[in-house]
Amino acid sequence: MRKQVRLTIDDRQITAPAGTLIVNAAKQIGIDIPVFCYHPKMEPVGMCRMCLVEVGRPIIDRNTGQPVLEDGQPKIQFGPKLETACTTPVSEGMVVRGMSEKAKAGQNEIVEFLLTSHPLDCPICDKGGECPLQNLTMEHGPGKSRFLYDEKFHLEKRVPLGDLIFLDRERCIQCARCIRFQDEIAGEPVIGFYNRGRATDIVTYTDPGFDSVFSGNTTDICPVGALTTSDFRFGARTWELKSTASVCGQCPVGCNIVFNTRREAKADGRIVIKRVMPRQNEQVNEIWLCDKGRFAYHYTENGARLSRPLVKKNGKLEASSWDEAAAIAGGKLRSADGEVVVLASGRLSNEDLFNLKSLADGLGGKALLYTQMGGGDLTARFGVGAGTNFGEMGAGTTILVAASDLYNEAPVWHLRVKGAAKRGATVIVANGRETKLDAFAKYVVRYAYGDEVETINGLQQKEKIGEAITSAENLVVLFGSDGLGLNGTSNLAAACAELVQGRAGKPNNGLIGVWPKANDQGAWEIGFRPTDDLSSELKGKTVYVVAADPAGDDPQLAAALKEAKFVIAQELFQTATADLADVVLPAQAYTERDGSFTSGERRAQRFYAAVPAFGESQADYAITALVADAAGVELADSAGQVFENLVVTVEAFAGLTYEILAETAEQWPVVGRGDMYYGGTTYENTRGLGAHLVGWGERGETASRPRVQEETELRPKEGQWLAVPVTKLYDQGLTVRSSKLLESHIGAATVTLHPEAAKRLGAGAGELVEISLNGTTAQVSVLLDETVSASVALLPRGMGLPISGPVVAGLKKV
Amino acid sequence: MSLAEKYPQEIQKIFAKYPPEQKRSAVMPLLYLAQREEGFITKGAMEEIAGMLGIKVTEVAEIVGFYTLYHDEKAGKYRMQVCTDLPCALRGADKFIEELCGNLGVKVGETTEDGLVTVEAVMCLAACDKAPMLQTQGSDGINYHENMTVDKTLELIEALKKSVA
């Protein structure tokens, strides 16, 4: 523990650890010292001078080394000038006056100074109502300007930094919070200052502009309306917005968010989502969000969504009623005599998956997880313990990232692991190609695709890396699916589990799966399992497909579904699978209902209904209850009841209640409505931090040693290629491609090759080649990456090509 | 033609001055090298330098923007930078630049028709006692010209014209 020092701030005596900055020491006891450039998540720079205070220190007698006393009290000497509270650390006996006339005068003058080149266009500014400058102007501003209005300084008001973020140059007060965020926290310095003095401008020179998936965060911490998102720009006044707590459904990190909603004339009087804001959860996402989480929500409002149940009559899907559709679906499930397959994805909530699993069990059928990533049985057993927090990891912690491109697979984990590395954690990245995390890793292990398991098994034998793993106080292993399919990831998970098996259950120790979907972990815990031969599982069965589009992803699965006995599809959109279905059931988006997700860290978190349901759609768990009722299986049909049934049935959830998930605790830094000047516009967490599932250790189970299965290695012949799947953040997945805003980020299908390999093929960067794999042929454009092996072709998942795992492919120049 | 192709030896010399793990420190001499080409730094040159140093192009641009002796716009072969701060103005620098511009037929910031000279007004050049004064910035570096008159400056321009031709 650091030495504690005693000091006085505004006549209140406090103790704070040595090294604490005055501004933070004050904040901790509820004293607000105004700031613009200072942000508690970043290094202080003292650029804006807003936090000027009077600082006095005890006079020390040089002979005795003791404070000079006056009337029995140490004599305090105040500096001749004001000091910045954001750069000055506290010291023993210090006296800080932030409210004195001298300090106030200093602060007021800074505001007046800032306002000389600020347009004060609050009535048309998106930040109006939640703007630190607006609030501090009300408190410290002069009320009347001493400057000539006609000489007001004007600059461009609409500068697109990228297609998602706009800059208003004249509103900018040059605090550099955005630039420092990109540099210090995101590790991508893609925006910077150009020129100086009044001509200082924020610029980006990357192509595309502001090339970072964390760009949206800069609008939250901007203390003025200089940076706005193209999504919310001129969208609404902030005080008209209602806020509903939720959890991002795009990846397994489980970032806490808020949906800001408003009733809108443009939307025919419906209540619509106006923006997504981060909600503070220091153990999950701190106060950050990636741009996918912030902008991809539009899919929930896409007008093409299913609004009514459909039933196939005379070979055509026709609108029907819930009663009829549920009766038909339930009747078919009941009469299938156990030949039932429930196929669901981790896009669903715990409640939906539990009801589906209960239905499958009740009918004697199978509950299959639609995924190409295995190992969830191992994360359920060897997952990180309760209390795990990347934000606390530093020296003494080793983090191994195996076969995962975190930047694309789970961006906020990339940011958190990078933060841990900065605090001294040893980060080891093992991958078949260079990823963005490599730059922050202590050790980078490069293997040839296919050697994943061998590589992980060999890590402990390596001198330095082995030492870092075995002697680490804490060890977290994240494994992903870079270049791997179901078998490969299952084996990789087993190899990774061996590294942590003696540690699992302890906080900041264990295994984390970087799943493709938000709630894959929950699906595994509840009992869903993937299968390596889905086609044959589907043929001849009565199939209930929920939140998955196998027919759209893979022509072979489409063929298998055509041979199914009866197909029920429950979806948001009319997918290729829904086209093949006999009954189509319209589901609510997760923004329209209550529920909970289980994050990759095994944290169950609640989300709440933010907007009314689209059309006649119903919540997935409720639809399943309706269908089950017709099939003769009784299930609960409210989220709360389903969760109650879940916790008594599935041991990992034992002891949890909705109330526990909704519990909150004090968090640092302080954010929220009254503290926006300090932490930004991130929302305070008032609706729950979530809770960890019960660990295997606490359940008293003994861990059996995970086994690695033998796999026949794929060896491409001369002239062939080993095509491996990789993850692209913005893909053509249903929840991304249905969001207009992100269209330009998705792009077309690509193949990534080694430059030499591309040369042999006769194709340069950007040129088209023809690829044939899994019975499909398509034209894709070439990207170059000199870190992949020569005969490997990287294909992004979810970009229209059916690639579920490594496969031998043919490539030729068009 | 890229910088690496055109100045392989100079670049090697510059890199030799810095420890390999601090090679980003070479950004400023590399920018001067790039500026030698056309009197200003192109976006292409910034990208190439960013690639050489393993930093983002925006970080290179920040340096270009911050320092006034780097230029990002095309100008004449020589920039004539006249100090017009208060002490120089008291010694007639403002009148000097006005008459000089009148003689050359340009405004402050503009380039003469033959593309030889761009007249710029700048902040203190630390030669107040020898005002009016100016510095010329061209591919041969920076040179001070002190105690100037318009006639002397026109002679200087003639000399520059000859040296270029």
Whether the Cβ atoms of residue A209 and residue A263 lie closer than 8 Å to each other: no
Q: Same structural domain for residues B41 and B119?
A: no
> DSSP string of A91-142?
-TTEEEESSSHHHHHHHHHHHHHHHTT----GGG-TTTTS-HHHHHHHHH--
Cβ contact B61–A196 (<8 Å): no
Confidence grade of residue A712 (pLDDT, cut at 50, 70, 90)? low
What's the rounded Cα separation, in Å, for the pair A190 and A221?
Answer: 17
What's the rounded Cα separation, in Å, for the pair A526 and A29?
Answer: 44
Is pLDDT of B165 > 80?
Answer: no
Return the pLDDT at B139. Answer: 83
What's the rounded Cα separation, in Å, for the pair A527 and B67?
Answer: 63
Cβ contact A195–B55 (<8 Å): no
Q: Same structural domain for residues B82 and B61?
A: no
Q: Same structural domain for residues B83 and B24?
A: no
Whether the Cβ atoms of residue A163 and residue A744 lie closer than 8 Å to each other: yes
The Cβ of residue A781 has, within 10 Å, a number of other Cβ atoms equal to 16
How does pLDDT run across A610-666, given as a tens digit for each residue?
Answer: 999 999 999 999 999 999 999 999 999 999 999 999 999 999 999 999 999 999 999
Q: Which residue of A has its CA nearest to B71?
A: A195
Is pLDDT of B10 > 70?
Answer: yes
- Identify the residue among B53, B56, B58, B123 best suited for mutation to test binding to A, counting A beta carbons within 10 A and taking the highest: B58
Confidence grade of residue A145 (pLDDT, cut at 50, 70, 90)? confident
Is pLDDT of A737 > 90?
Answer: no
User: In order of start, what are the domains of chain A with their CATH numbers?
Assistant: 4-114 (3.10.20.740), 310-371+524-594+613-653 (3.40.50.740), 376-514 (3.40.228.10), 721-813 (2.40.40.20)
Q: Which residue of A has its CA nearest to B70?
A: A195
How does pLDDT run across A438-459, given as a tens digit for each residue?
Answer: 999 999 999 999 999 999 999 9
Burial class (CB in 10 A: 0-12, 13-18, 19+), A28: middle
Q: Same structural domain for residues B56 and B93?
A: no
Return the pLDDT at A729. Answer: 94
Task: Please indicate if any CB of chain B lies within 8 Å of the CB of A668.
Answer: no
What residues have CB less than 8 Å from B130, skipping those under 6 apart?
B146, B147
What residues have CB less than 8 Å from B8, skipping those under 6 apart?
none
Q: Same structural domain for residues B132 and B96?
A: yes
B160 within some domain? yes
Return the pLDDT at A702. Answer: 52
What's the rounded Cα separation, in Å, for the pair A142 and A408?
Answer: 48
Q: Which two three-digit tokens encode residue A502?
A: 């003696």
What's the rounded Cα separation, in Å, for the pair A399 and A752?
Answer: 28
Whether the Cβ atoms of residue A521 and residue A513 lie closer than 8 Å to each other: yes
Is pLDDT of A679 > 70?
Answer: yes
The Cβ of residue A49 has, within 10 Å, a number of other Cβ atoms equal to 18
How does pLDDT run across A10-21, given as a tens digit for each residue?
Answer: 999 999 999 999
Whether the Cβ atoms of residue B154 and residue B103 lie closer than 8 Å to each other: yes
Cα-Cα-Cα-Cα dihedral of A749, A754, A759, A761, to 10°? Answer: -60
What residues have CB less than 8 Å from A301, skipping those under 6 apart?
A272, A273, A614
Q: Same structural domain for residues B99 and B59?
A: no
What's the rounded Cα separation, in Å, for the pair A137 and B108?
Answer: 39
Contacts of B62 in chain A (CB under 8 A): 192-194, 203
Task: Please indicate if any CB of chain B lies within 8 Å of the CB of A197.
Answer: no
Confidence grade of residue B91 (pLDDT, cut at 50, 70, 90)? very high
Percent of chain A whose pLDDT exceeds 70: 98
- With CA atoms as reference, report the closest residue to A595 among A651, A638, A631, A552: A638
How does pLDDT run across A326-354, given as a tens digit for each residue?
Answer: 999 999 999 999 999 999 999 999 999 99
Return the pLDDT at A148. Answer: 86
Average pLDDT for residues A310-315, to the nearest whole number? 96
Is pLDDT of A774 > 90?
Answer: no
What's the rounded Cα separation, in Å, for the pair A280 and A283?
Answer: 9
Q: Same structural domain for residues B157 and B124?
A: yes
Angle at B44 between CA B40 and CA B45, to 5 degrees: 55
- With CA atoms as reference, report the closest residue to A387 among A670, A697, A704: A697
* A189 vs A775, more confident: A189
Is pLDDT of A706 > 70?
Answer: no
Is pLDDT of A708 > 60?
Answer: no
Cβ contact B58–A189 (<8 Å): yes
Cβ contact A193–B62 (<8 Å): yes
B114 within some domain? yes
B122 within some domain? yes
Contacts of B44 in chain A (CB under 8 A): none
B117 within some domain? yes
Task: Please indicate if any CB of chain B lies within 8 Å of the CB of A206.
Answer: yes
How does pLDDT run across A467-490, given as a tens digit for each residue?
Answer: 999 999 999 999 999 999 999 999
**Residue A200 C-alpha, separation from nearest chain B C-alpha, in angstroms:** 9
Task: Please indicate if any CB of chain B lies within 8 Å of the CB of A184.
Answer: no
Terminal alpha carbon distance of chain A = 65
Domain end among B66, B89, B112:
B66
Strands A227-229, A165-167: pairing kind: antiparallel
Cβ contact A188–B60 (<8 Å): no
Average pLDDT for residues B68-77, to the nearest whole number? 92
Is pLDDT of A358 > 60?
Answer: yes
Q: At what angle do helices B8-16 and B27-38 cross, to 10 degrees?
A: 160
Cβ contact B58–A205 (<8 Å): yes
Q: At what angle do helices A132-140 and A101-115 cross, to 10 degrees?
A: 130
Interface predicted TM-score (ipTM): 0.89
**Least confident window among A42-46, A431-435, A711-715, A772-776:** A711-715
Domain end among B36, B66, B96:
B66
Confidence grade of residue A711 (pLDDT, cut at 50, 70, 90)? low
Give the phi and the psi of residue A164 in degrees, each rounded to 5: -105, -25
Domain count, chain B: 2
Confidence grade of residue B7 (pLDDT, cut at 50, 70, 90)? very high
Task: Please indicate if any CB of chain B lies within 8 Å of the CB of A215.
Answer: no
Domain end among B12, B37, B66:
B66
B72 within some domain? no
- With CA atoms as reference, report the closest residue to A572 among A276, A261, A303: A303
- With CA atoms as reference, report the closest residue to A595 among A584, A611, A608, A577: A608
Amino acid at B62: E
Return the pLDDT at A704. Answer: 55
The three-state (H, E, C) secondary structure of A202-258, written as one string? EECCCCCCCCCCCCCHHHHHCCCCCEEECCCCCCCCHHHCEEEEEECCCCCCCCEEE
Contacts of B56 in chain A (CB under 8 A): 188-190, 205-206
- Give me the residues of A, 444-483, that contact B with CB < 8 A: none
Looking at residue B53, which CATH number applies to its domain?
1.10.10.1590
* A149 vs B72, more confident: B72
**Residue A438 C-alpha, separation from nearest chain B C-alpha, in angstroms:** 14
Contacts of B55 in chain A (CB under 8 A): 189
The Cβ of residue A468 has, within 10 Å, a number of other Cβ atoms equal to 21
Cβ contact B43–A204 (<8 Å): no
Q: Same structural domain for residues B108 and B37?
A: no
Return the pLDDT at B9. Answer: 95
How does pLDDT run across A44-71, given as a tens digit for each residue?
Answer: 999 999 999 999 999 999 999 899 999 9
What's the rounded Cα separation, in Å, for the pair A639 and B155?
Answer: 89
Which domain does B88 fall in, by range? Answer: 78-164
Contacts 24+ apart (CB under 8 A), B55-60: B55/A189, B55/B24, B55/B27, B56/A188, B56/A189, B56/A190, B56/A205, B56/A206, B57/A205, B57/A206, B58/A189, B58/A190, B58/A191, B58/A192, B58/A203, B58/A204, B58/A205, B58/A206, B59/A189, B59/A192, B59/B27, B60/A205, B60/B27, B60/B31
Average pLDDT for residues B65-82, to the nearest whole number? 94
Task: Please indicate if any CB of chain B lies within 8 Å of the CB of A193.
Answer: yes
Q: Same structural domain for residues B86 and B150?
A: yes
Return the pLDDT at A252. Answer: 97
Q: Same structural domain for residues B34 and B93?
A: no
**Least confident window among A55-59, A529-533, A712-716, A760-764:** A712-716
Q: Which residue of A has its CA nearest to B67?
A: A195
Q: Which residues pair with A399 in a beta bridge?
A: A427, A476
B71 within some domain? no
The three-state (H, E, C) secondary structure of A595-615, written as one string? EEEECCCCEEEEECCCCCCCC
> DSSP string of B151-163?
HHHHHHHHHHHHH
Whether the Cβ atoms of residue A222 and residue A301 lie closer than 8 Å to each other: no
| Rg from Cα positions in chain A | 29
Looking at residue B133, which CATH number applies to its domain?
3.40.30.10
Whether the Cβ atoms of residue A499 and residue A510 lie closer than 8 Å to each other: no
Cβ contact B58–A191 (<8 Å): yes
Q: Same structural domain for residues B127 and B101?
A: yes
Return the pLDDT at A501. Answer: 87
Contacts of B123 in chain A (CB under 8 A): none
B25 within some domain? yes
B73 within some domain? no
- What does the mean pLDDT of chain A come to? 94
**Least confident window among A97-111, A243-257, A492-506, B49-63:** A492-506
**Residue B68 C-alpha, separation from nearest chain A C-alpha, in angstroms:** 8
Q: Same structural domain for residues B84 and B61?
A: no
Return the pLDDT at A674. Answer: 86
Is A302 strand, coil or helix?
coil
Q: What is the largest CA-CA distance in chain A?
A: 103
Whether the Cβ atoms of residue A256 and residue A664 lie closer than 8 Å to each other: no
Strands A316-319, A310-313: pairing kind: antiparallel
What's the rounded Cα separation, in Å, for the pair A546 and A368?
Answer: 10
Confidence grade of residue A539 (pLDDT, cut at 50, 70, 90)? very high
Kindly list the strands in the beta sheet with A426-431, ordered across the sheet, starting from the edge strand earlier in the chain.
A443-446, A426-431, A397-402, A474-479, A510-513
Chain centroid to Cα A555, Å, comes to 31
